[in-house]
Amino acid sequence: MATSLKAEARDAEPTAASWVRNAWYVACMPHEIEGKPLGRTICNEQMVFFRGIEGQVAALEDFCPHRGAPLSLGFLRDGALVCGYHGLTMGCRGKTEGMPGQRVGGFPPIRSFPVIERYGFIWVWPGDPDLADPAKLRHLAWAEDEGWAYGGGIYHVASDYRLMIDNLMDLTHETYVHATSIGQKEIDEAPVRTRLVGSEVVTSRFMDNVSPPPFWAMALDGAGLPSEVPVDRWQICHFHLPSSVEIEVGVAPMGQGGYDAPMDQKVYAMVVDMMTPETDSSHWYFWGMARRFAVNDQDLTDSIRDGQGRIFAEDIEMLERQQQNLSRQPDRRLLLLNIDAGGVRSRQLIDKAIAVELA
Amino acid sequence: MATSLKAEARDAEPTAASWVRNAWYVACMPHEIEGKPLGRTICNEQMVFFRGIEGQVAALEDFCPHRGAPLSLGFLRDGALVCGYHGLTMGCRGKTEGMPGQRVGGFPPIRSFPVIERYGFIWVWPGDPDLADPAKLRHLAWAEDEGWAYGGGIYHVASDYRLMIDNLMDLTHETYVHATSIGQKEIDEAPVRTRLVGSEVVTSRFMDNVSPPPFWAMALDGAGLPSEVPVDRWQICHFHLPSSVEIEVGVAPMGQGGYDAPMDQKVYAMVVDMMTPETDSSHWYFWGMARRFAVNDQDLTDSIRDGQGRIFAEDIEMLERQQQNLSRQPDRRLLLLNIDAGGVRSRQLIDKAIAVELA
Amino acid sequence: MATSLKAEARDAEPTAASWVRNAWYVACMPHEIEGKPLGRTICNEQMVFFRGIEGQVAALEDFCPHRGAPLSLGFLRDGALVCGYHGLTMGCRGKTEGMPGQRVGGFPPIRSFPVIERYGFIWVWPGDPDLADPAKLRHLAWAEDEGWAYGGGIYHVASDYRLMIDNLMDLTHETYVHATSIGQKEIDEAPVRTRLVGSEVVTSRFMDNVSPPPFWAMALDGAGLPSEVPVDRWQICHFHLPSSVEIEVGVAPMGQGGYDAPMDQKVYAMVVDMMTPETDSSHWYFWGMARRFAVNDQDLTDSIRDGQGRIFAEDIEMLERQQQNLSRQPDRRLLLLNIDAGGVRSRQLIDKAIAVELA
């Protein structure tokens, strides 16, 4: 296997911007705005999210125009957001609807952000509102099809969101970071292939005739398949702009066709990772797993989510400490190996999209 | 009611100084220097407070001239402050009185601050000592008259002290921040009047024929008056330089004359708020209540202090989060409504006094 | 006794560097690298320490050349350090030994630091490796002689390491900081003498006919000597570059010759203090006591270490608060008294050595 050893200057010469602005990012999950506003910083903007009278989601800057209090400390009344300090009532579009004892007609609106709810998530567009188009939100087939089940969660990670993309586009880290759950030495040994397919970066790895690691043995059990036999395993990572990685993962008992085995002879799932920048050195990590086996088994959904949550939490310390190291040596060049190709190509897509925005 | 909608530049063009320097500020309460020194930062000065041999209070910079240790880590011996590191003995005026094995005659004095004890508080003058005059301390009638009872406490608040002045000079926030204790919708609805009376800013509001909210029902009970009848309620806020707000508050059962009712037919009290800047974005908040009913009932004093402490603690998160929001957008203009007139006028007095100092 | 009252400019005009770079500093104790790597910042360098296959100690920068993860989050395998992120295997000299699926021959080495193990400590040379010479490590007789017993520990202190040198070269602080264990008023009263002896600064104090303070009474008991009689006590502090203070301490029952008493008629020990800069305002403090009495009594070793640990912990708050005070007033001149001569002369040695390095 050839070693690609180029100390590229990509870390030494970052673009001025760290993320694409004109794009849909996951802001939160519906349960986070259940009956109360949610304050969250996204792409360096303090935002407040809440539901209006008809259930539609609103996203505004988290700043009361009266005295600057965070609107997210307030409460909802009749579909409007009431500031918890002096009772200014804010509508879904950033227009003040009322203020005790004041005529509010002349109040200038505060900033609002385009927002949509789809696929079980609230999405926000931090850039130019005139460019926001729901049609630009990529279709997530697994989120709308009865043939899939989904469970997931959210983590706050004190690292640049791109370190998480690197992490997910190079799964050799599983052998080390997740040694007791999904890691196995064959991940290191199997060749990996990275290519650009349309607008996505795809990194794939196939491991034939391996023992299923504990997480996958559990999944096989859950699907009613034998879990103590050799399996064929696959990992196919798909990066999409602005910042998501979906990973087709699964195992099939050997001899059934591996990735191409009939659906009832394999456990096939999609690891869903959507990273939303908070600041230059932190992000919100929405993670989950969509699966095509035993889709009506809620206990299995819960069990997988718990297991995945534990596994993905193992990445956090590593990424946060990596961020600290990189921040101390911002000009230092890193090695780029062929296993890094997925992250490198994904960052190239991001950089190109940022350059277009800034042009 | 007219809306005064001027986005004034007062937040965008702050004066260089944030507070009046040549004035008496509350430094601490006597129990805080009981038998030991107290280190406290006031107006950006690290100070140490302690009592000398005859009980007089001293205020010095909290910096041992020998090796720079904080004197407040030391102890008192014979009315002098002994540094806890190497035993330098510091007198009340900042003159070194002794040092083991050293002749101290030539030691230059450290900085001392004019300080007086009056009205149950220790007051310090952070500015030019030559201008310090105890006569400049405003007379607090409630603190010396047997006809009043007082109880209070101290909070540290991570906000500019002027945000607390704004807060206290616009009591419409009670409806929202203190909804379960002293808030009621009639506060929002009653007209408010702000005017300059001599050297003080006065903001007054009268609410007739309202239900007493829980705190005042308790007070009526404590005073032996009926608590389940409609009352007339008043709030008259008085701002004085450099940084205090006294609020005449009370209720009288309807028909007794309201604010002008005979003393035994109303519960009449003075909310006492004295804000002492710590840094540009934090302050010490000395709060309390002086009352003219049931003045010998110590249980009632304790009960009121506990209740007031809980209520005033509700303001802290709001002000600290407001401070964070404003710090992130220092140039942003806020709305100024007529309910804000009390805060605006108070800040004008402060700004004018600062300008005089700097002239 | 004369008072030396010169407000020297040494705090106002610090040299650009705060420490000697080309010298051996204590990095850690052997138990800290038992079976796992240790990450530690020394002289502003993030380092990782571990043992190679034959037990030799290695010190490298704590930065994986592949993706910048801290190597100290990894693990040891066959005497090499395996990065916990993607499995890069790092050898003792900073050369990559392996990486799953990669040829590593062309990988540039990472920085390694000269390191030696001697006297029960791991020592590191943060400066120019070409100048590192184990012969430059000062001989520590107490560490190799069966006639001594040693026990000690490590503290992290958020102060410039030189404040600890000052602290140790002026033991009058014992009277105040350690009043209940080793302090006594005679320390303040006894004259102190400071002189340069070869390359070391020596500060000595002899106190005759005093009561043994609690710590020393315990030591006399431990040595089988009378503990309730008057004693002669001595303290002889020796500063050596780059940053250690050894203090000959002890007591002998009065009339036995004091410091010169026969070894079985005194308790004689060496307080060992080795300060290793972490950053400009923090250091690692390796402290301990080597003694020449009851050397085979492990219970006494444990008891002394516990007592010393409690005593030395008392210094930490004082030094950290002193550091904060000095950081707020970096240009302020301090008093320099004759009791400070030990610290002043030690700093002069440091400054001179730094100047030579920078020349």
Contacts of A63 in chain B (CB under 8 A): 325, 329, 332
Contacts of B173 in chain A (CB under 8 A): 85-86
The candidate with the shortest Cα–Cα distance to C51, out of C73, C75, C67, C85, is: C75
Q: B80 CB near a chain C CB, below 8 Å? A: no
Q: A211 CB near a chain C CB, below 8 Å? A: no
Name all chains with 3 or more CB-CB pairs below 8 Å to chain C: A, B
Which member of A46, A63, A69 has the closest CB to residue B318?
A69
Contacts of A101 in chain B (CB under 8 A): 1, 172, 188-189, 191, 338-339
Question: Does pLDDT of B298 surpass 50?
Answer: yes
**Chain C contact probe: residue of B46, B72, B85, B88 with most C CBs at under 10 A:** B85
A81 CA: distance to closest CA in chain C (Å): 44
Give how far the C-alpha of residue C60 lies from the chain's centroid of Cα atoms, to the nearest Å: 22
Q: Which residue of B has its CA nearest to C187?
A: B100
Q: What is the pLDDT along chain C (359 residues), one digit of tens a residue?
A: 333 333 333 343 444 689 999 999 999 999 999 999 999 999 999 999 999 999 999 999 999 999 999 999 999 999 899 999 999 999 999 999 998 888 888 889 999 999 999 999 999 999 999 999 999 999 999 999 999 999 999 999 999 999 999 999 999 888 888 888 888 888 888 889 999 999 999 999 999 999 999 989 999 998 899 999 999 999 999 999 999 999 999 999 999 999 999 999 999 999 999 999 999 999 999 999 999 989 999 999 999 999 999 999 999 999 999 999 999 999 998 888 888 999 999 999 999 999 999 98
> Could you give the percent of chain A with pLDDT greater than 70?
96
Residue range B163-178, pLDDT digits in tens: 999 999 999 888 888 8
With 0-12 / 13-18 / 19 or more C-beta atoms within 10 angstroms meaning exposed / middle / buried, residue B87 is buried
Question: Does pLDDT of B14 surpass 60?
Answer: no
DSSP 8-state code for residue B35: S
Q: A76 CB near a chain B CB, below 8 Å? A: no
Contacts of C210 (CB under 8 A, 6+ apart): C184, C186, C230, C231, C232, C233
A31 CA: distance to closest CA in chain B (Å): 24
Q: Which residue of C has its CA nearest to B45?
A: C328
Contact C73 A326 (CB under 8 A): no
What mean pLDDT comes out for the span A92-112? 91
The predicted pLDDT at position A225 comes to 94
Contacts of A339 in chain C (CB under 8 A): 86, 101-102
Q: C168 CB near a chain B CB, below 8 Å? A: no
Which domains does chain C carry?
Answer: 25-136 (2.102.10.10), 141-358 (3.90.380.10)
C69 CA: distance to closest CA in chain A (Å): 4
Contact C3 B66 (CB under 8 A): no
Contact B70 C176 (CB under 8 A): no
Contact C84 A177 (CB under 8 A): yes
Contact B100 C188 (CB under 8 A): yes
- Interatomic CA distance for residues A225 and A252, integer angstroms: 9
Question: Does pLDDT of A180 surpass 90?
Answer: no
Contact A339 C102 (CB under 8 A): yes
The predicted pLDDT at position A177 comes to 84
Confidence category of residue B16, pLDDT binned at 50, 70, 90: low
- Interatomic CA distance for residues A308 and A218, integer angstroms: 12
> Count H helices, E strands: chain A?
6, 17
Contact C68 A340 (CB under 8 A): no
B59 CA: distance to closest CA in chain C (Å): 17
The candidate with the shortest Cα–Cα distance to A207, out of A223, A183, A228, A231, is: A231
Contact B65 C335 (CB under 8 A): yes
The candidate with the shortest Cα–Cα distance to B41, out of B172, B180, B158, B140, is: B158
Contacts of A334 in chain C (CB under 8 A): 65-68
Coil, strand or helix at A85:
coil
Q: Give Rg (Cα) of chain A.
A: 22
Alpha helix (H) residue ranges in B283-340: 298-328
- Interatomic CA distance for residues B264 and B220, integer angstroms: 11
Q: Which residue of B has its CA nearest to C325?
A: B68
- Interatomic CA distance for residues B226 and B230, integer angstroms: 9
Q: Which residue of C has its CA nearest to A319?
A: C69
Phi, psi for C215 (deg, rounded to 5): -60, -45
**Chain A contact probe: residue of C45, C62, C67, C104 with most A CBs at under 10 A:** C67
Confidence category of residue A333, pLDDT binned at 50, 70, 90: confident
Inter-residue contact A249 to A234 (CB < 8 Å): yes
Inter-residue contact B308 to B219 (CB < 8 Å): no
Q: A111 CB near a chain B CB, below 8 Å? A: no
Q: Which amino acid is at B202?
A: V
Q: A186 CB near a chain C CB, below 8 Å? A: no
Which single residue is written with the structure tokens 């006894």? C190
Contacts of B326 in chain A (CB under 8 A): 68
Contacts of A179 (CB under 8 A, 6+ apart): none
Q: Which residue of C has its CA nearest to B87?
A: C176
Range among A183-192, A295-304, B152-161 with highest mean pLDDT value: B152-161
Contacts of B332 in chain A (CB under 8 A): 63, 68
Q: Which amino acid is at B325?
A: N
Confidence category of residue A189, pLDDT binned at 50, 70, 90: confident
The predicted pLDDT at position C106 comes to 86
Give how far the C-alpha of residue A26 lies from the chain's centroid of Cα atoms, to the nearest Å: 7
Which member of B1, B2, B335 has the closest CB to residue A66?
B335
Residue range B278-297, pLDDT digits in tens: 999 999 999 999 999 889 99
Burial A164-194 (b: 16+ CB within 10 A, else e): bbbbbbbbbbbbbbbeebbbbebbbebebeb
Coil, strand or helix at B86:
coil
The predicted pLDDT at position A16 comes to 65
Contacts of A147 (CB under 8 A, 6+ apart): A292, A295
Q: C217 CB near a chain B CB, below 8 Å? A: no
**Chain C contact probe: residue of A189, A335, A336, A347 with most C CBs at under 10 A:** A335
Q: C321 CB near a chain B CB, below 8 Å? A: yes
Which member of C62, C70, C87 has the closest CB to residue A188?
C87
Question: Per DSSP, what are the bridge partners of residue A247?
Answer: A237, A271
Contacts of C328 in chain B (CB under 8 A): 46
Q: Which residue of C has its CA nearest to B109?
A: C335
Which member of A73, A85, A100 has the closest CB to residue B188?
A100
Q: How crowded is residue C359: how many other Cβ atoms within 10 Å of its Cβ?
A: 5
What is the model's pTM? 0.90
What mean pLDDT comes out for the span A302-331? 94
**Token couple for C72:** 């100290």
Q: How crowded is residue B303: how many other Cβ atoms within 10 Å of its Cβ?
A: 15
What mean pLDDT comes out for the span B102-129? 94
Question: Does pLDDT of A116 surpass 80?
Answer: yes
Contact C101 A170 (CB under 8 A): no
Q: Which residue has the higher pLDDT, A105 or B36?
A: B36
Q: Which residue of B has its CA nearest to A47?
A: B325
C109 CA: distance to closest CA in chain B (Å): 43
Q: C307 CB near a chain A CB, below 8 Å? A: no
The candidate with the shortest Cα–Cα distance to C277, out of C326, C244, C239, is: C244
> Could you give the percent of chain B with pLDDT greater than 70?
96
Name all chains with 3 or more CB-CB pairs below 8 Å to chain B: A, C
Q: B209 CB near a chain A CB, below 8 Å? A: no
Q: Report the side by side order of strands in the sheet with C96-98.
A: C75-77, C80-82, C89-90, C96-98
Contacts of A106 in chain B (CB under 8 A): 3, 5
Q: Looking at chain B from residue 36 to 75, which residues have their Cβ under 8 Å from any Cβ of chain C?
A: 46, 62-63, 65-70, 73-74
Strand C121-124 to C149-157 pairing: unpaired
What mean pLDDT comes out for the span A332-352? 91
Contacts of B106 in chain C (CB under 8 A): 3, 5
Contact A172 C73 (CB under 8 A): no
Q: Find the length of chain B.
A: 359
Question: Does pLDDT of B245 surpass 80?
Answer: yes
Q: Which residue has the higher pLDDT, A177 or A113?
A: A113
Looking at A173-187, B218-232, B291-305, which range is the least confident one? A173-187
Confidence category of residue B15, pLDDT binned at 50, 70, 90: very low
Q: Which long-range contacts (CB under 8 A, 24 or more apart) does A214-217 make?
A: A214/A180, A214/A181, A214/A182, A215/A181, A215/A182, A215/A307, A215/A311, A216/A182, A216/A250, A216/A251, A216/A267
- Interatomic CA distance for residues A308 and A258, integer angstroms: 23
SS (H, E, C) chain C: CCCCCCCCCCCCCCCCCCCCCCCCEEEECHHHHCCCCEEEEECCEEEEEEECCCCCEEEEECCCCCCCCCHHHCEEECCEEECCCCCCEECCCCCEEECCCCCCCCCCCCCECCEEEECCEEEECCCCHHHCCHHHCCCCHHHCCCCCEEEEEEEEECCCHHHHHHHHHCHHHHHHHCCCCCCCHHHHHCCEEEEEECCEEEEEEEEEEECCCHHHHHHHHHHCCCCCCCEEEEEEEEEECCCEEEEEEEEEECCCCHHHCCHHHCEEEEEEEEEEEEECCEEEEEEEEEECCCCCCHHHHHHHHHHHHHHHHHHHHHHHHHHHHHHHCCCCCCCCCHHHHHHHHHHHHHHHHHHHHHC
Q: How many beta-carbon pairs under 8 angstroms link B with C?
A: 80
